Structure 1
Amino acid sequence: MTAMPTSLAAPERSPVLRVLRVGLHVMFAVLLGLGLVRAFLPSGAVAAPPMHRILVITLLAAVLALVYVLGTSREYRWYRHDAKPAHGRAKILGWAWLSTITVLWLVLLFLSPTFVWVAFPLMFLYLYLLTTVAGVVAVVLLWAATWLLPWWDAVRATGPQPPDLATIIGPGIGAVLAVLISAAYRHLLAQAVHHQRVAAALQAAQTDLAATEHRAGQLEERERLAREIHDTLAQGFSSIVLVSRAARQSQELSPSTQQSLELIEETAAANLTEARGLIQHLGTADPADSLRTQLQQLTKRYETELAVRHQPVDMHLRWEGEKSPAQLPSPISAAVLRTVQVGLGNVAAHAQATQVVITVGIWDDELTVDIFDNGVGFTVPDAFYPGFTATPGQHSDGETSGYGLYGLRQRLAVLNGSLAIESAPGEGTVVAARIPLTSASTNPAVQEDL
């Protein structure tokens, strides 16, 4: 019925630890049966207990065995199917089970001292469930019960008498052995957990290495294709354009020939443009992670810069939404990078913040960039214009600023986007950019304006 953390469940399946657990259950059964037999057949110097007492002892021993088996069988089913209940519920069930078998054992020990050695497996259970110090305290209490209850029963039956030294030392030796064996079990379990973590780390490293090698092979093949296209198709189209353009300069050609040469030149130029675009796409080092990598490098650079200036800032970059950064057209990616750059620049120059959270959300119809800092904040003006923050008394150093946010708003306006600033003195700042992911923000004219 005991519940162990998930990280320890797998190590407990090792053969050595499994044998120790099974051995504990077998020892409990053997010692309980031995105590029951000795209660029926006492030594010659001890009178046999009356029949009603034997019946009570037998009933209690049967109930104790049944409760123990029910608890261990339930744990074994969880262990086999990895279906343990919630940690809190398992802990309550475990303590209820252990408390029940402890109370039943104490009653049996009070009725017959022959059950004294059942305390030995109980000590293991308490050492298994509790911390080291609490487990040792529980073992001491169990050891005290092994000789106090039989001694008190003897005092009630025959009058005052000192406790037998052997009844104190014997269980004491068993208690010491229980503590030592439990410590060895914990050591083995810790070693198993350590080896499991090392094996998991090694497996993860091998997986990462395989993925890195696969990606490197992909990039190498992309670069090879880019070189091949550049040296063959692109060069060929470029030659066709130059030759057709030179041929059109001749005055002896008929109009139909001039039109044919013009068509050849236009077709070759269009295909040359497509070839160059393909070369640029294939030659990109990592197009799928380009924006992601640039933002990570940007935040890392600002963290390092502010740390050098003794203004440490903890920056977090978060991604949300339904699309990948690789699906963004280049104007949108450039706007995102510029937004984060301006926001972090203002944080570094004015915010005096200790924490910055950058959230980039890429949805089906909209892209959002939110930059939050817990800095000193400022009073947001009604309108943005160049140098709007350079108001009297705004900055003691007289720095003229505000051009970044003004230019950023103009840049986002070209993309039909918007920029909102939420701030107040002493309450931090939130820079929120919104860009619609529509054809109006991704056409070639937008790229030319940017």
Structure 2
Amino acid sequence: MLQRPQRGDPFWIWMLHWWENLSWALTALVALVTALSGTLTAAKTGLLALLAVLALCYTLVRRRPDSGLLSPQGYLCVLVLALGGVSWLGSGFGVLYMVMLPQFVTFADKVRPAVVLSGFGALAITVGGTLREGWGVDVLAKNTISSLGVYAVAVLMAVLTPRALAQRDERVRLRAELRTAQLELSEVYQRQGAAEERERLAREIHDTLAQGFASIIVLAEAARSGLSADPARSAQQLQSIEQTARENLAEARVLVGAAPHSGVAAGSVAATLRRTLDRFTEDTGLTVTAELAELTDTECDQPTRVALLRCTQESLANVRKHAAASTVGVVLALHPHGVELEITDDGRGFVVEESHGFGLNGMRRRLAEFGGELNVTSSLGDGTRILATIPLNGRT
């Protein structure tokens, strides 16, 4: 049995629904006019009784389709008998067949039952009208021709309705698939966002807190070993430990959202790098030569300054932990194609292709966010050269 149309159903399904409602409005009007027109004869009483029984059966099958008292096909059989009866009892009542046409499609499960049962309906009004008018070839022919015209409409409706339902079902399926795809895409975006955020936090922790803790460990070991031999030097190293710990605390607050801005102070990038290099020299005792170009805020904004500082900190940390170098060179220069930061050392070097550490990969990803790139040149015994390039106005 065809259910009530839903939002998004094809127009044809809505038309059947409206037609079905209109058919009962017209049927009620016919019953009212019959009851109020003149003396209530036996024919009028029988006609009203048939319409009442038909309305009762319709209400039962519509309101309680699963009650088992009357099936949709059973209701159509009642409809066929009622149509034959009303066309026999009253003149002109055969028109109710055309009014009730949508119900043959609405209550039939498939095309064939709809065509067959609507055909029985056409036969019923033909026989009923012929019996009322008097049996004869001319009367039978006239009633048959008029019934066949209406029956052709019923067949057309029975054929078109499944196509409209198939279109409706296809739209429902596509909408369901679209909702599923949207949910899956949303989940993918959420997972991607979470992964990117984890990667960002991991990079920030590595470049700030982890490097700071590594520096604290190295300074603490140096201070402990030189405590008796060089107390002044140990005191200086303890002061560096305290300062590094405070910087780590500030960075931790930034990472957890307790501080509104990056821990890197605003100002000239050259001044920022120079402070970092002075701390490195103080902590390690290595010789550092620096050529740092003064860049304006337009040429080097705060995010770019942070990226250059993190690359410098990571490179110096690698020098301290792995290079066994005696001299470090740092050059910050502005070129037409962008800002370049070059860091070299005369340490033991390494095989670049065999290096898979988080630090170098983190620098590459950080620079890639600005459209920049990282080039690493090194070989065993020949030191290392790090070249970080960020294009002007190249932030993506």
Measured against the shorter chain, the TM-score band is: 0.3 to 0.5
Q: Return the TM-score normalized by structure 2.
A: 0.47
- Work out which of the two has the higher radius of gyration on C-alpha atoms and give 1 or 2: 2
